Chains A and B, each alone.
Chain A
Amino acid sequence: MSAPAMGTTKTAPNDGSHKKKKGPGTLATAYLVIYNVVMTAGWLVIAVGLVRAYLARGSYHGLYYSIEKPLKFFQTGALLEILHCAVGIVPSSVVLTGFQVMSRVFLTWAVTHSVREVQSEDSVLLFVVAWTITEIIRYSFYTFSLLNHLPYLIKWARYTFFIVLYPMGVTGELLTIYAALPYVQKTGLYSVTLPNKYNFSFDYYTFLILTMVSYIPLFPQLYFHMLRQRKKVLGHVEEYTKVE
């Protein structure tokens, strides 16, 4: 539509005090610290579960089943992060966060959970491992940041590990969706055909293919954004060390 859409403008309360309110209040901070600690712990549980299952079985195959429940629980729990942005206690964009979380939740429930046949695929392990390492680092990063005590190692890890983990995760995700395709087509999973009383149709198989195609423009953008962030965040430290 063409009329200009004006976003809501937040006016800072001018109560005469000169202190600027930075970030969330103390209650919100406490809540966020607890949230991030719980998430870090949860993904550690998944990591430990993967390692233990691997040692017990002696193979990479079928490790998904050993961490299925905590994976579903903690990945779905990340939906709260959208709420955090919407309420304003986290300064990220609702749309961006929503998009990222929904894509994870989609893969967890609408692909891996829904299409049993892909659960034993190795591609599932690929993205689960990528997610696990990424999330452990990310949530501990947030925890330390909130407590104003961020070890450089965590910051470095957060802005470096993604270089390998991101493509690894994307590969795992794409291969898993691809593996699900024949089963979706055969069973008509989540699909609606005409005729019906609401004059609507949906082909999940085509939808999955379009999802895979959407990675092509989206992944490079996100990846290069992270690379630029890395230069910005880690680059400054290098400059300081150069100072004599």
Chain B
Amino acid sequence: MTTACKGFLDEQFLQLEELQDDANPNFVEEVVTLYYRDSARLILNIEQALERNPLDFNKLDSLMHQFKGSSSSIGAKKVKAECTLFREYCRAGNGEGCIRTFQQLKKEYATLKKKLEAYFQLARQVGPAETACRPK
């Protein structure tokens, strides 16, 4: 994990890197690519749900539960934190809180995507051993 990614990713990302081997040399990038592909649909669903009046907080909570699960699977620390906050607002029935948090979530999501793209580009240039963080 490069310095640029620190704070945005947690130890789960390191676990993913541990799974990379000769048989699965691009495992992390494949998982992350799938994550951004699948979660784009979830984000759209949440956006549409946030446009409804009145808000269906159960539906929003359920969608965010799923999104949090995916995000935590790749170690997306800040995205996960916003998911948790969003769900708290859902439980409180606070629509404005949900909308505000969702905007922040999308920012963190986009920022992480850029950082990961740069990370994988670097990994391709120097090789995975140089960029992965190996526990001592």
Chains A and B form a bound pair: no
Interface residues of A (CB under 8 A from B): none
Interface residues of B (CB under 8 A from A): none
